[in-house]
Amino acid sequence: MRHVKNLGLIFLVPILMVFFSCSARIDGAVREGGAAEISLKTSLGPRTAALIGTLRSFMGASAEGPILDGGAISLSLAAAPGIDSVSLKNTSPTSLEGDISITNVGDFLAVNGEKSRFITFSESRAPGNSSIIINLDKESAPEIISRLSPEAKQYLTALMAPAILGEQSTRQEYLMLVAMIYGRPLSDEIASARIQASIEFPRPVTAVRGGTALGKKAEFNIPLVDLLVLETPLRYEISW
């Protein structure tokens, strides 16, 4: 079952960064035998970067450091269950890229032996009978963020993200609130931001929900505002 468990981490770990990024590209591969790799490129839009920079100053962080700190995020992720190695570097103060190697996620972020609330999986040698379901809702999202990075939770709270605050809001209502508090340019930046992900499997994908499939790859194109608001829970299902 190891390679199915690894897939869960492929989806969940980059959430730490893409939750407050304005663009992100995630390429992942699940290998036979359980190993998995992620290649990540992510960056902040100028309005989002300015807001987070201001927040970091209030929190006592150096104004000269990168807004999206590859080194700090690497240290945070390296301590997460199932991570073998993390190598992220800044390509600019607001952009980073790098690789994450995964061994086994097991019951990722489960507490006291309980089963993970984020991942449901099954595996079979028969084609089409292996599957994984990833669920992200207003209960699981704050837990993921707070365990992987308390600082990210502070940033998202400042962005008034309903997914973190546990509030009910539509995407339109949230974007209107951001425009009212921080201005229309930041609201427009959030509205246009996308997270793109491509995950390759050992066998051809036979079914996918929340994305598209081509051969052994499942492709996802996720609006950032969907993650910030979670107006309805996000559910991704892949069978192979």
CA angle 239, 105, 151 (to 5 degrees): 115
Split at pLDDT 50, 70, 90, the class of 208 is very high
Are residues 10 and 102 in contact, defined by beta-carbon separation less than 8 angstroms? yes
Q: How confident is the model at residue 207 (pLDDT cuts 50, 70, 90)?
A: very high
Domain edges within the chain: 2-239
Per-residue confidence at 4, pLDDT binned at 50, 70, 90?
A: very low
Q: What would the two tokens of residue 86 be?
A: 């993390």
Among residues 71, 19, 22, 89, which one has the least CA distance to residue 50? 22
Nearest Cα neighbor of 240 from 122, 136, 134 is 122
Query: What's the sign of the alpha-carbon dihedral 166, 167, 170, 172?
Result: negative
Per-residue confidence band for 9, with pLDDT thresholds at 50, 70 and 90: very low
Mean pLDDT of 169-180: 94
Task: Give the tens place of pLDDT for each residue, 14-60.
Answer: 555 556 566 788 898 877 655 678 898 888 888 888 887 777 676 66
Which residue's entry shows tokens 């793109």? 196
Q: How far apart are CA 143 and CA 153, in angstroms?
A: 10
116: DSSP letter:
P
A 10 A CB-CB count for 175 gives 20
Lowest mean per-residue pLDDT among 77-81, 161-165, 179-183? 77-81
Q: Which residues, including other chains, have CB under 8 Å from residue 68's CB and lie 6 or more apart? A: 17, 21, 42, 43, 44, 49, 52, 90, 93, 94, 95, 96
Q: Which among 127, 131, 193, 152 has a CA at the least distance from the CA of 59?
A: 152
Q: What is the pLDDT of residue 121?
A: 65
Report the percentage of the chain scoring pLDDT > 70. 73
Round to the nearest angstrom and report the end-to-end CA distance of the chain: 13
**Percent share of the chain, pLDDT over 90:** 20
Query: Is 80 exceeded by the pLDDT of residue 182?
Result: yes
Alpha helices in the chain (DSSP H): 2-12, 15-18, 46-58, 70-78, 140-148, 150-158, 162-165, 171-182, 184-192, 224-229
